[in-house]
């Protein structure tokens, strides 16, 4: 019987923690976990361990948190554990060639899109923002490019009409965990055939910035609704009314029309705002210093009248 696969793991957020737990539950020997250094978080800005580090410590796994992996000293603990393969999931560091070739079976990545679509930092956000009907997980053999390596395994799932980045993240984290366990089972025997990514269909999922949050009401309602779902829970889409920045957590497209940004109708359960094409019924809102709430409750503390107009600027304008 061959020796059990030694699987080093590199990852940082909850998406990666889900995969690490699945690998451990499947019985793989994980001699070392790499994750980002502890960062300030919460209202007190206390140094906080990443979700991956928390899982590793709870399961008694050795943790290393190098700032980079450029020098031999920074790679020393990884080299010393002699992994057969390094699994990478949302780690946050670029791996140099010295790391890519260190494990006997190389490094494999869990990427939250159907490559080559949405290479890069924010594939879940960008898939929803673009109105894609499906996405998925690609298990990829890593090379020095940005998500350009050969594909080992792909699994697709539909993007539901109500999916936000938060809900789709959780679906893909579960799928990614299952996919990497499936891939690891086949890797030693060479049962996974690497398939080069096609040159056609390449798109890049640039990192999400807070500056993208401002809604450009001149855009079609469907595009804005997709952006609202994509930016939930971060950075959260915003509209400005009476010099107050209001977070828009959810909205629905309705068949109304008017000057973009104009409030067309208000009642106890809805605020309807005209867009470049059709309109949006705002469903969940949040004003500064308050919590997110249904429109009816929001209106009791911040009345809105038909005929008022949201500022029409916004960095999402074409």
Q: Tens digits of per-residue pLDDT, 141-196? A: 999 999 999 999 999 999 999 999 999 999 999 999 999 999 999 998 888 999 99
Q: What is the pTM of this model?
A: 0.94
In a domain? residue 306:
no
Q: What are the pLDDT digits (tens) for 113-156?
A: 999 999 999 999 999 999 999 999 999 999 999 999 999 999 99
Between CA 145 and CA 135, with CA 147 as vertex, the angle to 5 degrees is 165
In a domain? residue 198:
yes
Same domain, 168 and 251: no
Task: Tell me which residue range forms the domain holding 38.
Answer: 7-205
In angstroms, the CA 240 to CA 153 distance is 44
Beta strands in the chain (DSSP E): 7-11, 33-34, 39-41, 46-48, 63-64, 85-89, 107-111, 119-120, 134-141, 151-158, 204-205, 237-241, 244-254, 263-267, 270-274, 279-286, 293-294
In a domain? residue 183:
yes
Query: What's residue 128's pLDDT?
Result: 98
Pairing of strands 85-89, 107-111: parallel
Same domain, 143 and 166: yes
Same domain, 116 and 129: yes
């Amino acid at each position: 019987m061959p020796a059990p696969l030694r699987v080093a793991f590199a990852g940082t957020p909850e998406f990666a923690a889900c995969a690490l737990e699945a690998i451990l539950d499947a019985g793989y020997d994980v001699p070392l976990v790499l994750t980002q250094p502890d960062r300030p978080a919460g209202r007190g800005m206390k140094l906080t361990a990443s979700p991956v580090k928390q899982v590793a410590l709870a399961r008694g796994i050795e943790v290393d948190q190098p700032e980079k992996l450029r020098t031999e000293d920074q790679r020393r603990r990884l080299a010393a554990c002699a992994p057969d393969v390094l699994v990478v999931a949302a780690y946050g560091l670029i791996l140099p060639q010295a790391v890519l070739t260190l494990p006997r079976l190389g490094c494999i990545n869990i990427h939250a899109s159907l490559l080559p679509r949405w290479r890069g930092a924010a594939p879940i956000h960008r898939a929803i923002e673009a109105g894609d009907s499906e996405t998925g997980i690609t298990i990829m053999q890593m090379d020095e490019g940005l998500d350009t390596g050969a594909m080992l395994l792909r699994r697709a799932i539909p993007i539901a009409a109500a999916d936000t980045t938060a809900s789709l993240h959780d679906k893909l984290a579960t799928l990614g965990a299952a996919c990497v366990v499936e891939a690891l089972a086949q890797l030693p025997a060479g049962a996974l055939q690497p398939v080069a990514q096609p040159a056609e269909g390449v798109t890049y999922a640039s990192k999400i910035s807070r500056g993208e949050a401002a809604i450009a009401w001149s855009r079609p309602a469907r595009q804005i609704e997709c952006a609202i779902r994509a930016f939930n829970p971060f950075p959260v889409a915003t509209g400005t009314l009476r010099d107050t920045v209001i977070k828009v957590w959810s909205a629905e497209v309705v068949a109304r029309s008017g000057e973009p940004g104009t409030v067309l109708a208000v009642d106890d359960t809805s605020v309807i705002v005209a867009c470049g094409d059709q309109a949006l019924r705002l469903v969940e809102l949040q004003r500064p210093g308050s919590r997110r709430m249904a429109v009816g409750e929001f209106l009791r503390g911040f009345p809105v009248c038909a005929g008022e107009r949201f500022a029409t600027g916004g960095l999402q304008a074409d």
